[in-house]
Amino acid sequence: MNTLSQLLKTVKGSSPILYWVVILHFIFMLGCLLGLAIDERTLMGVNVWIKPLKFSISGGIYILTLGFLSTLYPYSNRKRNIITITVALTLLLEDAIIIYQAARGVQSHYNVTSVFDGMLFSAMGILIGINVLIMVLFIFDTVRLKLNTSKTVQWGILLGWLIIVFGSWVGGQMISQMSHNVGVADGGAGLPLLNWSTIGGDLRIAHFFGIHAIQIIPLFAFWISKKWNVNRRKQLIAVTIFGLIYAGWIGFTFYQAKMGMALLKL
């Protein structure tokens, strides 16, 4: 809890707007949990509040992560504020659209059944596109700048940004086919809460692990740098091997999904 408190304090001091957007996401999460408790409506076989719940949690974690990582870069206050506020507000708007569509009981993604729904879906695509461009900016800056952390952690951050861009590309694959399942229609039998298909391929699996690389790999690098008392070269090799294994897992789940195979066939 002390670590989380310190993390929130750092982010709040660096970008108050981003901090309050993170808090809003966790308020959204509580609202979605309340919706699950009192609203029995379903969409494609699951409660309408499951999807906004997942996006509220994932979005809040990503925004908080980016807010903290931005403090490690030798940016001017102006540049850092432009980046963090852009990310915070664009993702806040995207999640607001998802929650709004859930409240209406309709799909947020791949929904072009009306002009209005199509406009909202297109808006989400634009908002995510802006964030992907910011991810690419972080890749270039991680390569060319010296971050306020160890070389081991900086290398882990770079690998995290590279893999999250691939995870975003997987999201683009879903948009191009206007569905997340392969071989079967969206919906149907799926894992609890995650709802990943258990009867066909599901691109959301590779997308999920891809977009959370920016937390998992830097955390591994930080752990290695603190707990493994060896020279930097060995630490960098360990982080690289971990990153390759993680990327290989994502590649496997992507291939499996494209072949129409479920991760777990129940």
Q: What's the confidence (pLDDT) of residue 264?
A: 86
- The answer to whether the CB of 97 falls within 8 A of the CB of 123 is yes
Statement to judge: residues 135 and 219 lie in one domain: no
Alpha-carbon span 45 to 198, nearest angstrom:
13
Q: What's the confidence (pLDDT) of residue 192?
A: 85
Statement to judge: residues 184 and 96 lie in one domain: no
| Residues in the chain, pLDDT under 70 | 1
- The answer to whether the CB of 182 falls within 8 A of the CB of 258 is yes
Task: Output the CA torsion 118→121→122→128 (10° steps).
Answer: 180
Which of 115, 132, 148 is at the close of a domain? Answer: 148
Give the count of domains, the chain: 2
CA–CA distances in Å: residue 149 to residues 70, 72, 110, 146, 152: 12, 7, 41, 8, 8
Q: What's the confidence (pLDDT) of residue 1?
A: 61
Statement to judge: residues 54 and 43 lie in one domain: yes
Statement to judge: residues 127 and 203 lie in one domain: no
Alpha-carbon span 47 to 40, nearest angstrom:
7
- 46 DSSP 8-state letter: E
Statement to judge: residues 117 and 69 lie in one domain: yes
Statement to judge: residues 138 and 12 lie in one domain: yes
The CA-to-CA distance between both ends of the chain, in Å, stands at 37
Q: What's the confidence (pLDDT) of residue 189?
A: 85
Which of 96, 116, 148 is at the close of a domain? Answer: 148
pTM comes to 0.94
Statement to judge: residues 144 and 210 lie in one domain: no
Burial of 126 (0-12, 13-18, 19+ CB in 10 A): exposed
Statement to judge: residues 187 and 124 lie in one domain: no
Angle at CA 188, nearest 5°, toward 106 and 44? Answer: 10
Statement to judge: residues 177 and 116 lie in one domain: no
Statement to judge: residues 4 and 120 lie in one domain: yes
**pLDDT tens digits along 104-118:** 999 999 999 999 999
Tell me if residue 47 falls in helix, strand or coil: strand
Q: What's the confidence (pLDDT) of residue 180?
A: 93
Which of 148, 168, 196 is at the close of a domain? Answer: 148
The residue segments making up the domain with residue 179 are 151-266
Statement to judge: residues 239 and 256 lie in one domain: yes
**pLDDT tens digits along 30-40:** 999 999 999 99
Statement to judge: residues 11 and 75 lie in one domain: yes
